[in-house]
A and B are shown apart, each in its own frame.
Chain A
Amino acid sequence: MNETLAINAAPSALDPLVRVNGVTLQYKTPDHLVTATYRVTFEIDAGDRLVLLGPSGCGKSTILKAIAGFIKPVEGDVRLRNKIITGPGPDRMMVFQEFDQLLPWKKVLGNVMYPMTINGISESEAKARALDAIDKVKLSKFVDVYPHMLSGGMKQRVAIARAMAMKPDVLLMDEPYAALDALTRRKMQDELLQLWDEVGFTLVFVTHSIEEALVVGSRIVVLSPHPGQVNAEVNCQHMGQDFRDTPEFQALAKRISRMLFDDAPTAS
């Protein structure tokens, strides 16, 4: 969309930043073995806004958790800069759907600073970076407030600021706006895009809303219903909020909707 963006978006090496390679993920419960995703493959380039889109229960969160390093694939691997991911780490910060991801015992500033201070960033630099990130999500007035006094949307903004301030290689967001009202959600989507314009990070964004996927993403990986497999990859680089009413947007939305609902393999 603009100059800085093009620079930031350029891949730094020949390899993609993240490669999800034939990943099968399973949960072991006491009496079941649940296959959440089956041989999922996609790549994330630096500067991507990659959206994982699929119906509820298709394994989107599970894929995100695998990238974050919480779950090990039973088949295939997930690589960051060509190195296999073995566990969670601050180079892949995650923003969750739940509002309780903030530490209730720390004020907004403390919450944003915490991951930095425990990772050996000096107090003063952490503070400067935290204040900057909080400013970017427009919460400067609430620096000294405990999370329980914030609205849901504000809490999500703090979580985003906390993740951004760490300057992770990838920002993982798991339906971060799903629990918000429609108005706030729209505003938050705009803010996220604006932030991306300013900072130029790499984003993996999970949603089950086609519209949200089109607005937020630059590329969409469409997953089939449970167990999730990659159904399609769609480009939507130029579909901002302003495009919602264009025929182009509607057509693409319809196309994706057909993928999701019509030729879905009969789910169990």
Chain B
Amino acid sequence: MTDLSHRFAPSPRPEFERKVTAPAELGDVAKPLSMVERIVNISAVRRGVILVFIALFWEVYARWLNNPLSFPTFLDTLEALRDGIASGIIPQRLMITLQTLVAGYFIGLVIAAILTSVAVTTRIGTDLLATLTAMFNPLPAIALLPLALLWFGLGRPSLIFVIIHSVLWAVALNMHSGFLAVSDTLRMAGRTFGLRGLRLVIGILIPAAFPAILSGLKIGWAFAWRTLIAAELVFGVSSGQGGLGWYIFENRNTLDTAAVFAGLLTVMTVGLLIEAVIFRFIEARTVRRWGMQRG
């Protein structure tokens, strides 16, 4: 038509129509991956390789430094860890820590759940939650220690109090924003089924907000774990019942640095295990299976 189309239009190609091969005759439409590809696809394998490299680097560096008082080698640490486990001290300390942690964590979750339920059902509840989280979320749990000591004395109740504080706000905030993010369509669908009130919350809102709830649980867990170890370091012993933090503190006092490292290694390993095993498991069975989260 115009000059332009004339200049740029390619010359027409011949038209054709033909029969395509039936999919059944095509052979490999979907083919299993090779062994190597499958192994490399397992993230645990890839991460394991990284861990091996870190251990190697540590060993080499510590040997080169040659100062076991401030930086023991990887193998010395492993040995201290083995001794600690064999003598039953580390498992015992770990149990004490975990018991405190689980108690505080679950109390925190229950309070968070109640607070969030009130917040999604009433407007004053929303304001209450918003105000409380705005006030307390920025407050590091450790900063409450002196007060906790004053109120509950030395020992477990104080620790549980700080853990509750560290879990509660993060989890409540996540749960609440998760509920708010549930689409109107899903809510309306639930209501046409005849669900309302608590049944709507349980039947639709909680599963629909599960990705956010789960990430709240994870964040809460991480906060609780860090807070507890730190709190134990400061005042973790009561009637001879110290946890892992106390174990680390004790060994530092006797300058048994390898044992300090062993304690730290235990802290990391347990934290990692809970993250990588328990939460990953829940994730794989829920949000990732449902396609609500990729990974």
Given contacts A105-B210, A118-B199, contact A148 B290 (CB under 8 A): yes
**Is residue B139 contacting chain A, with contact meaning CB distance below 8 A?**
no
| Interchain nearest-CB distance for A162 vs B (Å) | 9
Determine whether the beta carbon of B183 is less than 8 Å from that of A148.
Answer: no
Q: Which of A85-93, A203-211, A238-246 contacts B (4 or more CB under 8 A)?
A: A85-93
A149 to B207 Cα, complex, angstroms: 18
Q: Which of B192, B194, B291 contacts A104 (CB 8 A)?
A: B291
Given contacts A90-B194, A94-B188, contact A100 B207 (CB under 8 A): no
| Interchain nearest-CB distance for A231 vs B (Å) | 27
Given contacts A101-B185, A104-B290, A148-B291, contact A70 B191 (CB under 8 A): yes
**Is residue A47 contacting chain B, with contact meaning CB distance below 8 A?**
no
**Is residue A146 contacting chain B, with contact meaning CB distance below 8 A?**
yes
Determine whether the beta carbon of A94 is less than 8 Å from that of B192.
Answer: yes
Chain A: how many interface residues by the 8 Å CB criterion? 25
Name the interface residues of B263-295: CB closer than 8 Å to any CB of A.
286, 289-292
A93 to B189 Cα, complex, angstroms: 8
Residues of chain A contacted by B192 (CB below 8 angstroms)? 68, 88-90, 92-94, 115
Determine whether the beta carbon of A118 is less than 8 Å from that of B203.
Answer: yes
| Interchain nearest-CB distance for A211 vs B (Å) | 26
Determine whether the beta carbon of A103 is less than 8 Å from that of B185.
Answer: no
A16 to B291 Cα, complex, angstroms: 43
Q: Which of B193, B289, B290 contacts A114 (CB 8 A)?
A: B193
Determine whether the beta carbon of A119 is less than 8 Å from that of B193.
Answer: yes
Tell me the total A-B contact number using a CB cutoff of 8 A: 65
Q: Which of A65, A87, A96 contacts B189 (CB 8 A)?
A: A96
| Interchain nearest-CB distance for B71 vs A (Å) | 49
| Interchain nearest-CB distance for B113 vs A (Å) | 19
Residues of chain B contacted by A43 (CB below 8 angstroms)? none
Q: Which of A101, A119, A146 contacts B291 (CB 8 A)?
A: A146
| Least CB separation from B210: chain A residue | A105
Determine whether the beta carbon of A98 is less than 8 Å from that of B185.
Answer: yes
**Is residue A217 contacting chain B, with contact meaning CB distance below 8 A?**
no
- Max count, chain B CB within 10 A of own CB: residue among A65, A68, A94: A94
A223 to B186 Cα, complex, angstroms: 27
| Least CB separation from B188: chain A residue | A70
Name the interface residues of B165-203: CB closer than 8 Å to any CB of A.
183, 185-186, 188-189, 191-195, 199, 203
Residues of chain B contacted by A114 (CB below 8 angstroms)? 193
A101 to B208 Cα, complex, angstroms: 11
Q: Which of B185, B193, B199, B210 contacts A96 (CB 8 A)?
A: B185
**Is residue A147 contacting chain B, with contact meaning CB distance below 8 A?**
yes
- Max count, chain A CB within 10 A of own CB: residue among B207, B286, B290: B290
Given contacts A70-B188, A93-B192, A94-B192, contact A149 B183 (CB under 8 A): no
Q: Which of B193, B199, B208, B291 contacts A149 (CB 8 A)?
A: B291
Residues of chain B contacted by A100 (CB below 8 angstroms)? 183, 185-186
A114 to B203 Cα, complex, angstroms: 10
Given contacts A68-B192, A70-B191, A115-B193, contact A105 B185 (CB under 8 A): no
**Is residue B101 contacting chain A, with contact meaning CB distance below 8 A?**
no
| Least CB separation from B182: chain A residue | A100
Name the interface residues of B209-225: CB closer than 8 Å to any CB of A.
210
A148 to B287 Cα, complex, angstroms: 11
Residues of chain B contacted by A87 (CB below 8 angstroms)? 191
Q: Mark interface residues in A66-101 (1 if CB within 8 Å of B CB, else 0).
A: 001010000000000000000111101110101011
- Max count, chain A CB within 10 A of own CB: residue among B192, B193, B289: B192
Enumerate 23 A-B pairs (CB-CB under 8 Å) in ascending A order: A68-B188, A88-B188, A88-B192, A89-B194, A92-B192, A93-B192, A96-B189, A98-B183, A100-B183, A100-B186, A101-B186, A101-B189, A103-B204, A103-B207, A104-B208, A104-B290, A104-B291, A104-B292, A105-B207, A115-B194, A118-B193, A118-B199, A119-B193
- Taking beta carbons and an 8 Å cutoff, which residues of A are in contact with B? 65, 68, 70, 87-90, 92-94, 96, 98, 100-101, 103-105, 114-115, 118-119, 146-149
- Taking beta carbons and an 8 Å cutoff, which residues of B are in contact with A? 183, 185-186, 188-189, 191-195, 199, 203-204, 207-208, 210, 286, 289-292
Further pairs besides A88-B192, A98-B183, A146-B289: 7, Cβ < 8 Å: A90-B192, A94-B189, A103-B186, A103-B189, A103-B208, A114-B193, A115-B194
Identify the 6 closest CB pairs spanning chains A and B, nearest first: A148-B291, A115-B193, A88-B191, A104-B290, A98-B185, A105-B207
